[in-house]
A and B are shown apart, each in its own frame.
Chain A
Amino acid sequence: MKKGLIELSSDDLKGCLSLSDEEIIIAKRKHVLVLIATSVSILFTGIFTTGLLIYLLYTILQSPPLTISFVLIALTLTSFAISKAIVDWYYHIYIVTTRKILEVKCIPFFADTIDNVFLDQVRTTEVDTIIPSFIHELLDIGSVTVAFDRPSHDEVYTLSNIKDPRETAKFLADALEDLMRPASVWFNHERGNEITKFTEDVFNGKVAHA
């Protein structure tokens, strides 16, 4: 267990461990700078709107009551939007355990998304790091994508805008390889010589070993 990869306290993570012999490998939120950037952009929009309202209503229309009313509402909405951004950031969590990958995204009053991928039902085909720009490189922000082959379809799971993406991807790739080899249905170590195995092809009633 690497300490830098677990950003939540052990008490917070207790509720996410629902399966037997499950241990946390990675628990991260989006980088705190993502929250700061969102909050600053909301704040600037609020200040700009307030300034514009003061100019229009006080300077042009010369109506102090209207100016006070609009400015108060604009500042209230700005304060609400910033607190919403903080709560949304706080409740968006990526968790990788020895049994599953979990993304929790709860936006109070608006939406809840809980995305679970059980690692014994999939095969990892790629773990990629995406650092899209020079600024992201400087601030050590990036995304890690994990591509899965499910028996029914392919799926890409993304840990977006997290801190230290390279280290996370490297650790995740090693951990997933170690975890999947004995557990996944795709590798099939513990099965007998049955013709129903996924790793075998059947031609004319005979089994051709993969």
Chain B
Amino acid sequence: MLNMTTNYTILLLFSISLLLIPYSFFYKKETLQIKSELGITLPKPLKIILEVNIVISIIVSLVLLVLILLQSN
């Protein structure tokens, strides 16, 4: 029973992490769009932070996917 609940919870967290990928991607896109509209230059560290967010969300999704596969075996 506990194992079943664990599986479903990890699946729920995986779906949240999947949602975070498009969010981080479009957040970066929107931020860059504001930059071009206002004409305010975005510093390089800030761009890197936004890119790191995308990478983090992808890595977290992959880790959770691996966990789901390990749990199902």
Q: Which residues of A contact B (CB under 8 A)?
A: 8-9, 11-12, 14-16, 61, 63, 65-66, 68-70, 72-73, 76, 79-80, 83-84, 86-87, 90-91, 93, 104, 106, 108-109, 112
Contacts and interface: CB of A to CB of B under 8 A. Distances in A.
18 contacts: A12-B39, A15-B38, A15-B39, A15-B40, A16-B38, A65-B70, A69-B67, A72-B13, A73-B60, A76-B56, A80-B23, A84-B27, A87-B31, A87-B50, A90-B42, A91-B38, A106-B34, A108-B27
A91 B30 CA distance: 12
A109 B10 contact: no
Given A65-B10, A69-B13, A69-B64, A106 B56 contact: no
Given A65-B70, A87-B31, 9 more contacts: A63-B2, A63-B6, A66-B6, A68-B63, A70-B13, A73-B60, A80-B20, A87-B46, A90-B46
B10 to A, nearest CB: 5
Which of A8, A80, A83 has its CB near the most chain B CB atoms (within 10 A)? A83
B73 interface: no
Contact of A66 (B10, B14, B24, B60): B10
Nearest to B10: A69
Interface in B2-37: 2, 6, 9-10, 13-14, 16-17, 20, 23-24, 26-27, 30-31, 33-34
Interface of B is mostly: helix
Main secondary structure on chain A at its contact with chain B?
A: helix
Nearest to B13: A69
Given A8-B40, A12-B39, A90-B46, A65 B27 contact: no
A79 B13 contact: no
A109 B34 CA distance: 10
